[in-house]
Amino acid sequence: MQPDFWHDRWHSNRIGFHRDTPLPLLTQYWDPLRLARGSRVFVPLCGKSLDMVWLAEQGHRVLGIELSALAIAQFFDERGLTPSTHASPAGTHHVAGPWELIQGDAFAIPASLLADCAGVYDRAALIALPPAMRDTYAATTWRRLPAGCRGLLVTLEFSEAEKDGPPFPVGEPEVHARLDRDWLVERLERRDILYGEPSFQAEGVTALHTVVYRLDRKPRERLQQQDFPLRSK
């Protein structure tokens, strides 16, 4: 999927993925992560999610990245804030209050910008991407997060034969295949949500589950010292 797809969705206000309240799975499972107040939380493909408001209310600083300038403008407008802006190789930064939202490419965000992120929260990024782009996302954005970072990943599970994405279904085997190299992955809950999703029902989806995972970034691999043979004197 190209950037124009998402720009068109925002400009035509076809943003059914946007929720009017924080996600219950976030509010239920965030506290056990035990992130300190004042710590920074990364939210990829953030849109104008109210989950970022909830995270800030818990005392966190939020770093988001989003393709759509309109989504970012709406987020700050709806808070009554006028952000300061500056440019970096990652894109255009919009900063106000506890939020720093970058208009840019999540795949290209440098590790240096993520280095102080103690937490990560992905509700709508992985499932927004087709398989090839999920490969890139895991190998770039996720791999650049620092050792010790921890957070939540939320996915959807349904039959690909019943609905075209986005959102795309991402099963537990795929989550492990993409993230186990760098992360400890623990499934916390798998919840049937079809009854509350009339748009999925209207498209013919007969089973729909949301799954939340806890993720803990493994220590980065240390360089192995090469063993040299002893020289005889």
C-alpha closest to that of 65 among 122, 19, 104, 107: 104
**Exposure of 120 in the CB half-sphere (CA atoms within 13 A):** 28
- What's the Cα-to-Cα distance from 63 to each of 81, 103, 193, 208, rounded to whole Å? 16, 11, 29, 30
220 known member of a binding site: no
45 known member of a binding site: yes
113 known member of a binding site: no
Q: Contact 80/122 with Cβ under 8 angstroms?
A: no
Which residue carries 């590790």 as its tokens? 111
183 known member of a binding site: no
Return the structure tokens found at 84: 């300061």
**Which residues carry a binding-site annotation?**
10, 45, 66, 123
**Which residues carry a binding-site annotation for S-adenosyl-L-methionine?**
10, 45, 66, 123
